Amino acid sequence: MTSKFIEIIDAKMATLVDSEVEIECIASGFGFIEGPVWIKGGLVFSDIPNNRLIRWTEDKYGPSVVTYRAPSGMSNGNTLDLNDELITCEHKGRRVSRGESGGDVVTVVDSYNGKRLNSPNDVVCRSDGSLYFTDPPYGLIHPSNPAPIPSELGFNGVFRIDPAGNLELMCEDFDRPNGLAFSPDEQILYIDDSARGHIRKFQVEDSGGLSDGEVFFDYMSADGMGVPDGMKVDSLGNIWSTGPGSVWVIDPDGSAIGRVYVPESPANLAFGGSDLCTMYFTARNGLYRMSLLVPGLPVGRAKR
């Protein structure tokens, strides 16, 4: 079943979103936007080529779009830690940073074993306060660089920052690790590999380590513009991931149950609104939203 924006592959999809839902463009004119996260009544996201973070809000007088932070280190992925402070992956800064409540921006990590990180891309926070992030080379090979910057690490990894601030390498066998998200019980961590066109899933051990990595969903036979990039999980455990031609909705068993066709190809997405039942899409030059029938998972202090 297909409507203007929604394709229902399995009846489960109809319980998540109305098949006749509208997708609305709520702001436009950006460079290339990424990393949306809902913060205190508004959405913060990255405008990568313009080296800034943006905040979008809406009240009875209408929408507002303002610069939240500039420069931003060519920020990409964002999340909240358990103190509701903004955690940001910076391509140009080659670090994971934290925007503190007083306004300072401090480095959380920027190196591993004395070597600079590549260009941290996306980040999630576990309810114990640990942070997991991906570190592909996109910032090193960005067209804005006069020449590609060689990787000091020599691999594109997935890392964990434990609650004490120690950095641990979780995986180094990815090609282009990208978006990542926990299952509702945090027993599984899903990670996109954009170059290989699939999502892998890992068991999360009590210690925070990852094990039993396996391909969970493969996009290689799918047609359309886009790769697995941004990813989020709803309260029922369904995975919402950008991918070829659309946003794909995948149930916890690994079956595609539906697709969402955003007018511009989205790079990332986030749940927002007071009930977390609105999906926001950062899609090239435009910011879009649609209503859902189920909430997403909270971030920051609300995870506790």
Question: What local confidence, expressed as pLDDT, does residue 1 receive?
Answer: 47
Sheet (strand 86-90) strand order: 75-80, 86-90, 95-99, 105-109
Q: Residue 257 is part of a domain; what is its CATH number?
A: 2.120.10.30
- The answer for residues whose C-beta is within 8 angstroms of residue 215's C-beta and 6 or more apart is 198, 199, 200
pLDDT band at 220 (very low <50, low <70, confident <90, very high): confident
Q: Which of 10-14, 68-72, 145-149 has the lowest mean pLDDT?
A: 145-149
Domain hosting 254: range is: 6-303
pLDDT for the residue numbered 62:
85
For all residues of the chain together, what is the average pLDDT? 95
Q: Model confidence over 93-130: pLDDT tens digits?
A: 999 999 998 889 999 999 999 999 999 999 999 999 99
Question: 203 in the Ramachandran plot: left (φ > 0), alpha (ψ -120 to 50) or beta?
Answer: beta
The 3-state secondary structure of the chain, one letter per residue: CECCCEEECCHHHHHCCCCCCCCEEEECCCCCEEEEEEECCEEEEEECCCCEEEEEEEECCEEEEEEEECCCCCEEEEEECCCCCEEEEECCCCEEEEECCCCCEEEEECEECCEECCCCCCEEECCCCCEEEEECCCCCCCCCCCCCCCCCCCCEEEEEECCCCCEEEEEEEECCEEEEEECCCCCEEEEEECCCCEEEEEEECCCCCEEEEEEEEECCCCCCCCCCCCEEEECCCCEEEEECCEEEEECCCCCEEEEECCCCCCCEEEEECCCCCEEEEEECCEEEEEECCCCECCCHHHHC
In a domain, 255, yes or no: yes
In this structure, the strands spanning 62-69 and 75-80 are unpaired
Taking 50 as the threshold, does the pLDDT of residue 38 lie above it?
yes
Q: At residue 199, does pLDDT exceed 70?
A: yes
CA distance from start to end of the chain: 38
Q: Indicate the number of domains in the chain.
A: 1
pLDDT at 157 > cutoff 80: yes
What is the value of pTM for the model shown?
0.96
109 touches 74 (CB < 8 A) = no
pLDDT class of 40 with cuts at 50, 70, 90: confident
Q: What percent of the chain has pLDDT over 90?
A: 88
Residue 1 domain flag: no
User: Can you tell me the mean pLDDT for 162-168?
Assistant: 97
Max CA pair span of the chain: 53
pLDDT given at position 226: 85
Residue 185 exposure: Cα atoms within 13 Å on the Cβ side: 7
Residue 179 domain-assigned (yes or no): yes
Lowest mean pLDDT among 111-120, 137-146, 263-272, 291-300: 137-146
- 74 contacts 117 by C-beta, under 8 angstroms: no
Task: Report the range of poorest mean pLDDT among 73-82, 142-151, 175-184.
Answer: 142-151
